[in-house]
């Protein structure tokens, strides 16, 4: 029985994937329409999965608040602001001034604060790494993190000094050349991995829908 259900899901996944590919690589109208319909269904299913995740998030934190587990005040704050933001989006729409105000003056500053903490955490991690493993790569990691922080921070006193100009140039080179090249390499690896995974699903070698 279970094997038959897995086989049905495998056939559905393979057929849907083939139709989507044909819609991209052929000019026949029927395949293009099928591709659009399948992509719309995929968007709806992804939205449904996001909704299920939000419900699970709220239920987990409500359970923490009701049982007063360690850290339950943070769960209470999350539930309050989650409900407030969700109500704003549902009643006023995502493009309303109130919703944009929340994202511009609350959400974005919180993201910026987390990124600032991440930068400091990287420097601390680099110092600990050098203390435990003193090799060339650890020193390069720590030196790069420090130079990027110094090049990004405001230089109020020595804003026009040669030191500041040199550090700013190094920071720009690291961000625009080294880091950008590494990010492109990671994205290429992710793309190749996605293509391989999709091909394995198309030939029914992998069946994640059956787990």
Lowest average pLDDT, out of 45-49, 101-105, 188-192, 197-201, goes to: 197-201
Q: Which residue has the tokens 């057929």?
A: 15
Q: Where along the chain do its domains lie?
A: 1-92
pLDDT at 208: 59
pLDDT at 6: 67
pLDDT tens digits for range 144-172: 777 777 777 665 445 555 666 677 777 78
| Higher local confidence (pLDDT), 183 or 9 | 183
Overall pTM surpassing 0.85 (yes/no): no
pLDDT tens digits for range 68-104: 888 888 888 888 888 888 888 888 887 888 888 888 8
Both structure tokens of 169? 């140039």
pLDDT tens digits for range 41-71: 888 988 898 889 888 988 888 888 888 888 8
pLDDT tens digits for range 114-129: 887 887 887 788 788 7
Q: How many other β-carbons are positioned within 10 Å of the β-carbon of residue 147?
A: 17
- Burial of 102-141, coded b for 16+ CB within 10 Å and e otherwise, reads beeeeeeeeeeeeeeeeeeebeeebeebeeeeeeeebeeb
Host H or E run for residue 7: helix 2-25
pLDDT at 52: 92
């Amino acid at each position: 029985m279970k094997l038959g259900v897995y086989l049905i899901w495998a056939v559905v996944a393979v057929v849907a994937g083939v139709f989507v590919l044909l819609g991209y690589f052929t000019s026949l109208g029927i395949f293009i329409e099928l591709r659009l319909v399948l992509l719309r269904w995929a968007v709806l299913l992804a939205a449904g999965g996001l909704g299920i995740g939000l419900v699970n998030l709220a239920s987990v934190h409500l359970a923490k608040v009701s049982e007063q587990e360690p850290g339950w005040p943070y769960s209470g704050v999350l539930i309050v602001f989650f409900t407030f933001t969700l109500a704003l989006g549902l009643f006023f729409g995502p493009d309303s001034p109130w919703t944009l105000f929340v994202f511009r003056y609350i959400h974005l500053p919180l993201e910026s604060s987390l990124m600032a903490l991440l930068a400091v955490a990287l420097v601390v991690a680099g110092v600990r790494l050098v203390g435990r493993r003193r090799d060339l790569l650890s020193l390069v990691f720590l030196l790069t993190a420090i130079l990027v922080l110094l090049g990004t921070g405001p230089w109020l006193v020595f804003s026009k000094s040669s030191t500041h100009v040199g550090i700013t140039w190094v920071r720009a080179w690291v961000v625009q050349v080294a880091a950008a090249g590494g990010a492109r390499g990671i994205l290429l690896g992710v793309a190749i991995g996605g293509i391989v995974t999709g091909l394995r699903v198309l030939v029914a070698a992998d069946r994640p829908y059956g787990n």
